Amino acid sequence: MNASTGVARASLYYGLIYGLANAVFFFIGVLSGVGQNDLFSYLSYALVVGLLIYILWDYRKSQDVFTLKSAIGLGTLSATVGGFISGMVSFIYFSFDNSFLKEIKDKAIAEMYEKNPEIADEAVEMASKMMDMTISPTGFLVMAILGSLFMGLIGSLIIGLFLRKGE
């Protein structure tokens, strides 16, 4: 990025990088079968933090002044654009192959029975209906966008505190 590139334009560029990196990571997780592994989840958070550091650091290099406001704006917008891109990839994938979603739901129901063997069938049925709304292609799209927005806001706030210059 050059010095004249605005935050909005830069966030589209970096959001594309963010979204494609998350989409590749998503496919690695789903196709290799480790998508529900705790270590894989921690690695996905590390990927998000690493991407935010890269985005803010790279943009900062081309700027004379890099404020906390710029960092929050760039990080949040980039993460939201990236969340939309990776969310659309997962939406399209889950629209054609929802076996991973069924696996998540079955695991959640099994954990309900494991934690409370006396649970009423009505409670499981109600929880299952709730899961049908959230564990769906549309649910994953919405959660990808909202989760990325939240992670981008919090991450860029913290990282921006360390990277600001010329204020």
CA 115 to chain centre: 29
Number of domains in the chain: 1
Residues contacting residue 17 through CB under 8 Å, at least 6 positions apart: 51, 55, 82
What is the span of the domain harbouring residue 59?
7-98+136-163
What is the tens place of the pLDDT at every residue in 62-82? Answer: 888 889 999 999 999 999 999
Alpha carbon distance 35, 99 (integer Å): 12
Maximum Cα–Cα distance across the chain: 64
2 in a structural domain: no
115 in a structural domain: no
What is the tens place of the pLDDT at every residue in 85-122? Answer: 999 999 999 888 888 888 888 888 888 888 888 888 88
79 in a structural domain: yes
86 in a structural domain: yes
